[in-house]
Amino acid sequence: MAFQRKKKFKIHRRIEERVDFFDGLPDDIVTCILAKLSSSASSPSDFVNILVTCKRLNRLGLHPLVLSKACSKVFDIKAEKWSDSAHRFLKECVNSGNAEASYTLGMIRFYCLQNPGSGASLMAKAAMKSHAPALYSLAVIQFNGSGGSKSDKDLRAGVALCARAAFLGHIDALRELGHCLQDGYGTRQNVAEGRRLLVQANARELAAGLRSPVWMSNYYRRCLSPPVPVGCSLLSDFGCIVPERELHPANRFLKEWFESGRGAVGEKLRLCAHVGCGRPETRPHEFRRCSVCGKVNYCSRGCQALDWKLRHKAECNPGERWLEEDGADVDAGGGEMAEVEDGENVLFE
């Protein structure tokens, strides 16, 4: 009898060890957990690892609620790994109502896959959900008339989109709006208000830099040793050193797409010279060039101001006029861009 009781106890213990309490969780709870994980993922692999764990997680991981909450890090796809399956995944996220997916796929279609109509529509879909980067990208398209002709430029619409994105906290849009007001570009000129917005953009940039993980990880080291630059000079008059801002996955994709040769920029078309942009021209002379050296061109005033402090100020030297090199006149292109002063006064001639 004692032997039988002992045997039954062992069998009962083995059964308990085989019980998987995860299978007992309702799908609604697991879906909410996966939605939280997708919204806080630090890379695409974090989300992919969930999908390949088991059939149940694969099924629930593709639930519309989970896809709608996915953050931009989930869509940080390398250009060299772009495929039809990656395209389908982004479309599923778009159909689930994810604004980040709409913006990222819109940028890829507009600039990389040469489908400006569909790309602009997707970015507009994200902009309707108050997605600040999408609003700013649409503003750049309006300023340049991208995807169309020079007559398609709409400066007032560009300023309005910039104002909305700046209201939502987008630093580049705030800087762009400041330059527009300072120069009277697409709006009534107001130098004082424009300068105020530029200073406000600098202050927000400083605050974002101080909150960045790179800054925090170097804080104690800086306290114990002489200060060592951990990034770039703040793009302002404050003279501070802050970490370089992390690129948005859409801009990183554009940059890698054209640098790797996966996508070819057309003849006489150039990329924006700002390393953090990645936008290409959609027609010859769409972007404005530096009026001093004529060697670099920018999609926006904000990109010129950023690149001036980061790199171009040390490299800019007077050279042959780009108009003479290309045999074109000003009206045929996007115009010229004058040298940026230390106070970030961007002028267009």
pLDDT score of 138: 96
Q: What is the rounded distance in angstroms from the CA atom of residue 90 to the CA atom of residue 92?
A: 5
CA-to-CA separations, 259 to 107, 112, 115, 246, in angstroms, rounded: 16, 12, 20, 18
pLDDT score of 331: 39
DSSP line for 89-142: HHHHHHHTT-HHHHHHHHHIIIIISS-HHHHHHHHHHHHTTT-HHHHHHHHHHH
Q: Please enumerate in sequence order all residues whose Cβ is within 8 A of that of 76, keeping only pairs 6 or more positions apart, or say none.
A: 43, 44, 249, 252
pLDDT score of 342: 43
pLDDT score of 210: 74
Asked if residue 209 lies in contact with residue 194, where contact means CB atoms within 8 angstroms, the answer is no
Asked if residue 12 lies in contact with residue 18, where contact means CB atoms within 8 angstroms, the answer is no
Q: What is the rounded distance in angstroms from the CA atom of residue 258 to the CA atom of residue 114?
A: 13
Record the pTM: 0.81
CA 112 to chain centre: 15
DSSP letter at 240 equals -
Q: Where are the domains of the chain?
A: 264-314
Question: By C-alpha distance, which of 306, 160, 322, 164 is closest to 236?
Answer: 306
Place of tokens 């940059």: 255
Asked if residue 194 lies in contact with residue 316, where contact means CB atoms within 8 angstroms, the answer is no
pLDDT in tens, the chain (349 residues): 555 555 555 555 554 555 566 778 888 999 999 999 999 998 899 898 988 888 888 999 999 999 999 999 999 999 988 999 999 999 999 999 999 999 999 999 999 998 999 999 999 999 999 999 999 999 999 999 998 888 889 999 999 999 999 999 999 999 999 999 998 989 999 999 999 999 898 888 888 777 766 555 555 444 444 444 444 544 444 555 666 777 899 999 999 998 887 777 777 888 999 888 999 999 988 998 887 887 889 998 888 888 887 788 888 877 555 445 554 443 334 455 554 444 443 334 3
> Residues 13, 15, 17, 20: is their CA dihedral positive or negative?
negative
Question: By C-alpha distance, which of 302, 51, 283 is closest to 146?
Answer: 283
Helices 84-95, 99-107: crossing angle, 10 deg rounding: 140
3-state DSSP assignment of residue 76: coil
Q: What is the rounded distance in angstroms from the CA atom of residue 124 to the CA atom of residue 111?
A: 15
Q: Please enumerate in sequence order all residues whose Cβ is within 8 A of that of 112, keeping only pairs 6 or more positions apart, or say none.
A: 253, 254, 257, 263
pLDDT score of 259: 86
Asked if residue 296 lies in contact with residue 340, where contact means CB atoms within 8 angstroms, the answer is no
Pairing verdict, β 297-298 and 232-233: unpaired
Q: What is the rounded distance in angstroms from the CA atom of residue 92 to the CA atom of residue 268?
A: 36
Q: What is the rounded distance in angstroms from the CA atom of residue 242 to the CA atom of residue 3?
A: 73
CA-to-CA separations, 4 to 10, 12, 13, 14, 15, in angstroms, rounded: 10, 12, 14, 15, 17
Measured in degrees and rounded to the nearest 5, phi and psi for residue 171 equal -65, -45
